[in-house]
Amino acid sequence: MSTDGLIVVDKPGGMTSHDVVARIRRLAKTRRVGHGGTLDPMATGVLVIGVGRATRLLTYVIGAGKSYNGTIRLGQATVTDDAEGDVIATAPAGHLTDDAIRSALTALSGEVDQVPSAVSAIKIDGQRAYKRVRDGESVELPARRVTISRLEVLAIRRTEPDVVDVDVDVTCSSGTYIRAIARDAGLALDVGGHLTALRRTAVGGFTLAEAATLDELEQRAPDVVNLPLDAAADRFFPRREATPEEARVLAHGGPLDPAGLIGPYAVFGPAGSLIAIVSERDGRARAEIVLAPA
């Protein structure tokens, strides 16, 4: 059985995030596997997988900022806002100037209220939005505040009549839909738009540089974890060292005196092993999750 920890996977296209989790369960020989943020089947790139006790870190991974490279096609709108859905509207986009395209995308950056794609995994009254759409319902999701801190146009390509392909580099907060950026750019330019390619290049501090393909993981199974639990927490959180007495108290769920650190942060025992993820409130440092072995 694999050790507890994280795996940075380079997800291939055509697989769901759940498909990747199922493959890792087989390779790691454990059912206790989860992922830190869904990637659509069309998308590739960084998918952080947790194994064993490290699955409890995934809630923090899901909330981390993310970076993407993507391609927006202007001139066609689809039902899913990406290339997996049927085209529902077209309009010639060849007349659009580069300046107009850049301006429309600039207007979508910063702190914005973004309406998620209707074909998404967001739940409405307990049912996924995409299922309601596939069942023929009209779905309207409320806007949510997201931060798009970087939206850089890498290239504008005009290789086909009436459409314009725009390669972008995006860094954004958790919960941002790159498909929605493509849709909204198309709406702003009155030609429609959708996403034709998406590659996630980073989740928090985890990047493609350390990502392994499923084929590479297959070759080294069951030793698939590349960031054991202690190392993963040290990478992702600020670090606090505990005395033996503090380690004992915290391992049993008790509070510590505050250290003035901005949390959440990881507390390590004298031997260097992870005890808990902690945040400070009401004058005490309290465990959000205890990870020390029982």
Residues annotated as catalytic are 40
Strand spans (E) along the chain: 5-11, 33-35, 44-51, 66-74, 76-78, 87-90, 110-114, 123-124, 127-128, 144-157, 164-172, 193-203, 206-207, 227-228, 239-241, 265-268, 274-281, 284-290
Residue whose pair of structure tokens reads 């990870």 in the numeric block = 291
CB of 233 within 8 A of CB of 31?
no
Question: Which helix (H) or strand (E) element contains residue 24?
Answer: helix 17-28
Let me know if 260 is exposed, middle or buried by CB neighbors in 10 A (0-12, 13-18, 19+): exposed
Q: Is 288 helix (H, G, I), strand (E, B) or coil?
A: strand
DSSP codes of every residue in 198-237: EEEEEETTEEGGG-B-HHHHHHHTT---SEEHHHHHHHHS
Q: Which two tokens stand for residue 5?
A: 């920890």
